[in-house]
Structure 1
Amino acid sequence: MGSEGHWGDRARLDQFLQAYAVERATIEARKNGHSVTEQKLDNGSIKLTIRVGGAL
């Protein structure tokens, strides 16, 4: 267990939450007919680009 207590390492939790948010936003955008592109940035962030109407 990490130094954050019984929940484990905070960095791993943050990674999980980011991945969940990206996936959820992607699903919702596609359900509404939009195109989504994902770009991983050097700092570990993920940039989503959502195109209205699905046109790239």
Structure 2
Amino acid sequence: MSKAAKPCPICRKPRSEEFSPFCSSRCRDRDLNRWFGDGYSVPGRPASPEEMTGEE
């Protein structure tokens, strides 16, 4: 019994080997745009301006 392939995490269509884990360059680019636009985040407290510039 073979395990079913996971779908594209953006649109849920079958994955393409060329764009894995996505189905197309469009979904790959949408995911990248989410990273650039702060659509994804890691939980934690906000950094202070001093921490961001390394002036501690």
- Pairwise same-fold verdict (TM > 0.5): no
TM-score by length of 2: 0.31
Higher relative contact order (CA 8 A, sep 6+): 1
In terms of fraction of residues, the more helix-rich structure is 1
**Taking structure 1 as the reference length, what is the TM-score of the superposition?**
0.31
